[in-house]
Structure 1
């Protein structure tokens, strides 16, 4: 134990980590919902690392063949490429969940209004960079995506932007432009993230709603001497979270790429590109978008005309998200005291799921007005009516619920893992991770890519579990 402290102190002194003005957090914040932004950041870091590696082998002049060459000829290439794809998926999913959590919790209220706006802008840029990255493979789905992109700009009367975004019509210019935009937008996301993180530190973390009395501004004072220091607690927890995120990013596409699994995977979730647009198989592939654009594609099938469909599916939602801090300016934080925002969040989430499933089942099929009404209207009515009833019921018991909750402090009877057991788990998982990594070195880095990916993903998850166990044993 002493040696561990000495190394920790040496490392902290080397990098002056104890002088870093990051904020420590109370114990209850070491829970996954408080770290969804950290998961997004971990996925972003993985995207940067793997993206830089892919740049060494990607050729804009021969997009599809160079992409397939990375899979079949570059050592560990299949792992890097498939995890880069699924890293984007995990990042987008985490951003969705983080935004929904912040919205329901009222985290956009003063003093975090601009912080929320930055988050919305990063979300939009993340979808944009994912669209472009998806198009860089040069497969049939990428060709369809580029055609759709050109059509959307044309429908909005923005034809003049087509050469800027998609080039002059040659394959080299198209993929050179897309690659340049991919890198540029990724750099913009990183810069906005740094500003977002800075504001999060300066504005202070948001405590539990009950600790803030369900009133804004809800801030944990960063100068509170009762808070444990940032180093090394937050750092160790974040390292475990990074390993967990990276393990999932590697493990899922590697499992899907296993020879016994890959033939049955729908192209919508395939870890590898589809067929070449010039191959005979291309004609049998529906024009599927990435899963995170499915709802937009179905909205574009609505019977309002392409221009109106675009505005309703892309521009209106972004504007609504951007102005939420201006729409909801009172100091109430309980979701049922904000029925409008709660309804907006639940309706948006329900429509997103409905339209995504519909698009996966019927990609590109025009929507009949009666079907649009049947799918979109009932959730709207049910959610608004349900929240109205819940809000009225809540108002009648609110004072008692908020002020009398402390009297109902029943003792917890939940099972708690003992510190010795957690320590044993930490050692066992670390040893297993080392064994799995050692065994993976015997595999061929080209032909056995999926098996190596499964090994590395599992090893990272085991290392994550080991670090979480160490954290629990020493800091909770």
Structure 2
């Protein structure tokens, strides 16, 4: 035991002497956040579900075969032959949905608390990119079981790209690897889902976390029109000893322990959902048989329904324009105030947008 401890200490001393690990860890952990940050857990929960996705996705990829001839059978093998395979697949599917939900909650929290205002413009932009990448995970992963529902939902969903003016046809061929959903489509979606998107998400997430640490978290109770300051970050490290600034809470261990409790609660919720509603599998994909009432996953229902009631070009351009407006929101909103009552236009626009999206989603579900 003593020899092992000595080895650990030698490794630690080696790292400390070259990379100043101790000061790096102190800079990361010894920071403070607003005590009123009751909704800041949404971002941490999104990170938790991403880690669940990564772990379960690696386990599924061990057995999955991304070819039309073998994909469906490999999913059946995972569910029926691999120990706890049905559980791993269900956890992967449910955590994907929960990850999208909490990513949206996190974005709404930032919007309604005006946490996108200076100096956090880039933090917002990076956060919107994370949401788009999360939706990309859902879109590319939905085809992989290669059953009827996955095949035809992907066919319908990818057709929207073909409605874009000028580049629509080429974009559709690029997405599918041809004019229809084939083995090339499955191969492209699999490669994007397990390699391109995880690497992109991890890189953008790292940038997001660095920006949060440097610029800090916005206090939702900050004064109207007050200049934003890094409530959490390098500028708020506790250098003055045990005294803490009024209204702030130590990130470690207080916030970290609270976040871990939230993770354990969501893990319990995830297990309950998986136990009550394990993910199944439809009939094998058949390009010659079109099933009735094919719809995309719930997070694309509003686009699907909107696409049905307006011209194709409008149905594609409006969500794209809306995405760009969302991305550029910090630069478009010039109102210097943070309190909701001082920014009625932004609040009303946000509430109306949420209501419209929910209404179109319900309409698409019931239609």
- Bin for the TM-score computed over the shorter chain: 0.7 to 0.9
1:130-169 aligned at under 5 Å gives the runs 130-156=138-164, 157-168=167-178
The reply to whether residue 57 of structure 1 matches residue 69 of structure 2 is no
The reply to whether residue 326 of structure 1 matches residue 331 of structure 2 is yes
1:86-235 aligned at under 5 Å gives the runs 86-156=94-164, 157-168=167-178, 171-183=182-194, 184-209=196-221, 211-213=222-224, 215-220=226-231, 221-224=235-238, 225=240, 226=244, 229-235=250-256
Measure, in 2, the Cα distance between the counterparts of 1:236 and 1:307. Answer: 49
With over 3 angstroms needed to count, the CA separation of the structure-2 counterparts of 1:161 and 1:316, relative to structure 1, is closer
| CA displacement at 1:324 relative to structure 2 | 1.1
| CA displacement at 1:254 relative to structure 2 | 2.0
Contact 1:295-1:352 within 8 A present in 2 as well: yes
The reply to whether residue 353 of structure 1 matches residue 358 of structure 2 is yes
Structure 1: runs of 5+ lacking an equivalent: 1-9, 258-270, 363-476
**Worse overlay, 155-164 or 57-66:** 155-164
**Worse overlay, 19-28 or 82-91:** 19-28
CA RMSD, 1 decimal: 2.5
Contact 2:63-2:78 within 8 A present in 1 as well: yes
Measure, in 1, the Cα distance between the counterparts of 2:225 and 2:150. Answer: 47
Contact 1:298-1:356 within 8 A present in 2 as well: yes
Measure, in 2, the Cα distance between the counterparts of 1:53 and 1:235. Answer: 28
| CA displacement at 1:105 relative to structure 2 | 0.5
Contact 2:34-2:219 within 8 A present in 1 as well: no
Contact 1:43-1:87 within 8 A present in 2 as well: yes
Measure, in 2, the Cα distance between the counterparts of 1:248 and 1:361. Answer: 27
| CA displacement at 1:20 relative to structure 2 | 4.4
| Rg (Cα) greater in structure | 1
Q: Which residue is 2:17 aligned to?
A: none
The reply to whether residue 81 of structure 1 matches residue 89 of structure 2 is yes
The reply to whether residue 311 of structure 1 matches residue 339 of structure 2 is no
By relative contact order (CA 8 Å, sep 6+), the higher-ranking structure is 2
User: What SS class does the counterpart of residue 273 from structure 2 fall into?
Assistant: helix
The reply to whether residue 296 of structure 1 matches residue 310 of structure 2 is no
Contact 1:47-1:88 within 8 A present in 2 as well: yes
User: What SS class does the counterpart of residue 164 from structure 1 fall into?
Assistant: helix
Question: Taking structure 2 as the reference length, what is the TM-score of the superposition?
Answer: 0.83
Measure, in 2, the Cα distance between the counterparts of 1:24 and 1:245. Answer: 25
| CA displacement at 1:30 relative to structure 2 | 6.2
Question: Taking structure 1 as the reference length, what is the TM-score of the superposition?
Answer: 0.65
Measure, in 2, the Cα distance between the counterparts of 1:186 and 1:230. Answer: 27
Measure, in 2, the Cα distance between the counterparts of 1:24 and 1:53. Answer: 36
With over 3 angstroms needed to count, the CA separation of the structure-2 counterparts of 1:317 and 1:22, relative to structure 1, is farther
Measure, in 1, the Cα distance between the counterparts of 2:111 and 2:56. Answer: 31
Contact 2:152-2:290 within 8 A present in 1 as well: no
Measure, in 1, the Cα distance between the counterparts of 2:252 and 2:139. Answer: 38
With over 3 angstroms needed to count, the CA separation of the structure-2 counterparts of 1:109 and 1:23, relative to structure 1, is farther
| CA displacement at 1:22 relative to structure 2 | 3.5
User: What SS class does the counterpart of residue 137 from structure 2 fall into?
Assistant: helix
Measure, in 1, the Cα distance between the counterparts of 2:219 and 2:161. Answer: 43
Contact 1:135-1:143 within 8 A present in 2 as well: yes
Contact 2:163-2:312 within 8 A present in 1 as well: yes
| CA displacement at 1:43 relative to structure 2 | 0.6
With over 3 angstroms needed to count, the CA separation of the structure-2 counterparts of 1:320 and 1:329, relative to structure 1, is same
Measure, in 2, the Cα distance between the counterparts of 1:102 and 1:70. Answer: 39
User: What SS class does the counterpart of residue 101 from structure 2 fall into?
Assistant: helix
Contact 2:49-2:95 within 8 A present in 1 as well: yes
Tell me the alpha carbon deviations over residues 288-337 of structure 1, each in whole angstroms, 9 at most, x when there is no partner: 2101111010010113x11111111x202101111211121232001121
User: What SS class does the counterpart of residue 60 from structure 1 fall into?
Assistant: coil
1:335-374 aligned at under 5 Å gives the runs 335-362=340-367
| CA displacement at 1:248 relative to structure 2 | 2.2
Q: Which residue is 2:272 aligned to?
A: 251
| CA displacement at 1:230 relative to structure 2 | 3.8
Measure, in 1, the Cα distance between the counterparts of 2:348 and 2:293. Answer: 34
User: What SS class does the counterpart of residue 336 from structure 1 fall into?
Assistant: helix
Tell me the alpha carbon deviations over residues 22-58 of structure 1, each in whole angstroms, 9 at most, x when there is no partner: 4533572563x11110011111111111111111011
